[in-house]
Amino acid sequence: MQNVRMACSGMYFLEMKRRGRIFLRLSSSRNNFPATIQQRISTYAILVSSAAGILNGLAQDIRGEQSSQPKHVLMLFSESKDVPGNIMQEQAVRAEMQKESTNSIEFSSEYLDAAHFSDKEHFQVFQDYLGRKYARQKLDLILAFPSRDYTLAGELPDALFPVVPVVFVAVNEQEVPLAISKLGVTGIVQRFDIRGTLGLIMHLQPDTRRVVVVGGTSDSDRATLGRIADAAQALEGIEFEFWTNRPVAEMMAAVKSLPKGSVILLSAVQRDVTGQPFFTSQLARTMAPSASVPVYVLGGWAMGTGAVGGAVVDLQDLGVRVGRLALRVLDGANPETTPIEVATKGTPMVDWRALQRWRINNSRVPANALIRYRPETFWDEHKDLILVSLAVFLAQSITIAGLLAQRTKRRQVEFELINQRTELTHVSRVSTIGQLTSTLAHELGQPLGAILRNTEAAEIFLQQEKPDLEEVRSILADIRKDDQRAGSVIERMRSLLQRRRIEFKRLDIGEVMAEAVALAGHDALTRQVKMVLEIPAKLPAVRGDRVHLQQVLLNLMLNGMDAMADGAKGARTLMVRAEPTKDGGVQVSVSDCGTGIPPDKLERLFDPFFTTKPDGMGMGLAISNTIIEAHGGRIQAGNNATRGAIFKFTLPANES
């Protein structure tokens, strides 16, 4: 009891010393012992809790230091480095372990090459070599890949590295020796999916009546052949022929002449009857292209050799499973308590090129089968580009459709505006003709009066006993001439009164101006306005509409006459002039001697419904501006240097 009191009279401190050793140091206390047993129990509880927390933290620190150190994994292969199966398995296992592990992993690989050196002396040399090379290496795991037996996974690691955990993977039909389990080794034994491969054969080629099984003579080969023989009993009406007692060279010649309705099932071939070593992938690459019938295989390492396929061992999937098992052991799982996994797992897989060669319809391929080596379609190669292009095309189509809709709507509006402008132009022409009623009466009155007088004269001549027929003929000619003159006046008036759109033709602008002056001539005489027409001898032809241009000229001339209504009678002169422009066109001007245009109204002169007349509509000049712009020209107004206003418009030359 005294010893207990002495132990409880101090406080314990844990501290770490070098090399990971832990010491317990007792420090004396100046305080008195607890007075009651309850206080002593509380003190014990505090001490135990503190010690447990410190030890737990220390253990975590040690595990953290260990986990930060790289793991060293030794990979042992029965066959040589260049065997396709070894390459595929090693890559798959490494990739899975590096992807899932939180530690960095260092891999070392060694190859026995038992296919070429299968004697015990070579095995002993290989074992001694490993012992010397890795004697001072700290190995965390051994990954064994045995092919012919399980020595590489059991006896060899047990002899050299008895404390290093071992994980193995084997693809064969041999039974796992009981001694392997006793050594505390775990792993995966992958069996061939023979029934699945036979089922795939019948699915792809239902007319098959004969299956030629090509196999080897090693223990592992014979175990696989035994499984095939067992599975064959379930297929009635199918003949199975086992080629095992023939050299490979002889079989190569025989497969070239197999009859229709036959297929070849390539089993495991490590050694033929002559003792020559082989690899199944090597044999498939030689046999499949020259065979007269399709060849099927059991392992994924034989795909791409010309064989059609099978329910094969997928080394990628197997590598993932082995890698995960190895990581579990690295993380502390005990191999002795981890049972060895023995599984029959096949992945239906076919070669697209072989299907085409043997004309096997793709529709016969099961939905769960993988089709390898199929050429990528344009969609497969450029899927993203196609989708982006389609999106852009769709966006452009929508944009174009919107623009076309806007264009159609704009054209409808433009068509309505043209109709309205045509109607306004027609109204303006009618208004202009209304202002020329006196001219119209004069132009029609003269020929009609002449016709009447000539008719009366003809009657007088015809009443004579001997009428002068020559004189009558002359009178009739005058009547015809006056009638044509009146008809011409009526035709010009009718053209001005018609509703019509602009029709562009080659025009002599001098003739157009002369006709317009003639139409307004009598009205000018009535208003006592002197009209002067100046047209150069040579003017370039223009492209335009005769009626619309005459409407512009008549409107400008009538406006000029109105502007001079209050002027002196002898000073009323209206000048109509044409002259060529520098760019090859024609400029037409109408100048009056009126009061001119106020400067503040010049800018708005061609605006619709703007007028300087008390009774004006404000549409004449706006319509004239529209007509000239439609002809590709320009109209402008200004004041003369002396008095009056001047209007000018240009017309481009006829290019055709």
Among residues 375, 394, 419, the one where a domain terminates is: 375
Domain co-membership, 606 together with 630:
yes
- pLDDT confidence of residue 210: 96
Distance, CA of 154 to CA of 237 (rounded, Å): 44
pLDDT, mean of residues 296-325: 94
Domain co-membership, 239 together with 167:
no
Residue 359 sits in which domain range? 203-312+347-375
- pLDDT confidence of residue 617: 64
Domain co-membership, 249 together with 369:
yes
- Could you tell me the pLDDT band of residue 19, with boundaries at 50, 70 and 90? very low
pLDDT, mean of residues 105-125: 89
- Count CB atoms within 10 A of the CB of residue 235: 16
Among residues 156, 190, 224, the one where a domain terminates is: 190
In a 3-state reduction of DSSP, which class is residue 587?
A: strand
- pLDDT confidence of residue 440: 56
Domain co-membership, 82 together with 216:
no
Q: Is the model's pLDDT at 631 over the cut of 50?
A: yes
Q: Which of these ranges, 331-340, 498-507, 575-584, has the smallest mean pLDDT?
A: 498-507
- pLDDT confidence of residue 354: 96
Kindly report, residue by residue over 315-344, the tens digit of the pLDDT. Answer: 999 999 999 999 999 999 998 888 999 999
113 with 76: CB under 8 angstroms? no
Please name which of 626, 625, 632, 627 lies closest in space to residue 647, comparing C-alpha atoms. Answer: 625
Is 471 within the bounds of a domain? no
- pLDDT confidence of residue 22: 32
Question: How many domains are there within the chain?
Answer: 4
- pLDDT confidence of residue 6: 36
Is 254 within the bounds of a domain? yes
- pLDDT confidence of residue 519: 80
Among residues 190, 220, 238, the one where a domain terminates is: 190
pLDDT, mean of residues 8-37: 34
φ and ψ at residue 398, rounded to 5 degrees? -65, -45
CATH number at residue 358: 3.40.50.2300
- pLDDT confidence of residue 82: 84
Domain co-membership, 60 together with 49:
yes
For the chain, percent of residues with pLDDT exceeding 90? 44
Kindly report, residue by residue over 228-285, the tens digit of the pLDDT. Answer: 999 999 998 999 999 998 999 999 999 999 999 999 999 999 999 998 999 898 899 9
Distance, CA of 572 to CA of 643 (rounded, Å): 11
For 70-218, where are the alpha helices, taking DSSP H only?
Answer: 84-100, 120-133, 155-160, 178-182, 194-204
- Could you tell me the pLDDT band of residue 44, with boundaries at 50, 70 and 90? very low
- Could you tell me the pLDDT band of residue 34, with boundaries at 50, 70 and 90? very low
- Please give the angle made by the CA atoms of 74, 75 and 77, to the nearest 5 degrees: 145
pLDDT, mean of residues 382-411: 90
Q: Is the model's pLDDT at 2 over the cut of 70?
A: no
- pLDDT confidence of residue 609: 74
Domain co-membership, 510 together with 638:
yes
- Could you tell me the pLDDT band of residue 430, with boundaries at 50, 70 and 90? low
Please name which of 374, 369, 370 lies closest in space to residue 352, comparing C-alpha atoms. Answer: 374
Domain co-membership, 263 together with 213:
yes
pTM for the model: 0.54
Tokens of 397: 């189509």
- pLDDT confidence of residue 303: 93
Tokens of 254: 């025989």
Question: How confident is the prediction for the chain on average, in pLDDT?
Answer: 82
Kindly report, residue by residue over 514-524, the tens digit of the pLDDT. Answer: 988 888 887 78
Q: Which of these ranges, 5-9, 17-21, 288-292, 311-315, has the smallest mean pLDDT?
A: 17-21
Which range is most confident: 96-110, 495-509, 510-524? 96-110
CATH number at residue 581: 3.30.565.10
Kindly report, residue by residue over 62-88, the tens digit of the pLDDT. Answer: 444 445 689 999 999 998 888 888 888
Is 527 within the bounds of a domain? yes
pLDDT, mean of residues 107-125: 89
Q: Is the model's pLDDT at 420 over the cut of 80?
A: no
- pLDDT confidence of residue 68: 62
- Could you tell me the pLDDT band of residue 10, with boundaries at 50, 70 and 90? very low
Domain co-membership, 167 together with 228:
no
Is 538 within the bounds of a domain? yes
Domain co-membership, 221 together with 86:
no
Is 554 within the bounds of a domain? yes
Bigger pLDDT: 604 vs 352: 352
Q: Is the model's pLDDT at 8 over the cut of 50?
A: no
Domain co-membership, 63 together with 73:
no
Domain co-membership, 181 together with 266:
no
Is 399 within the bounds of a domain? no
Domain co-membership, 77 together with 16:
no
Is 389 within the bounds of a domain? no
In a 3-state reduction of DSSP, which class is residue 119?
A: coil
Kindly report, residue by residue over 174-203, the tens digit of the pLDDT. Answer: 988 888 877 879 999 999 999 999 999 999
Q: Is the model's pLDDT at 485 over the cut of 70?
A: no
Is 320 within the bounds of a domain? no
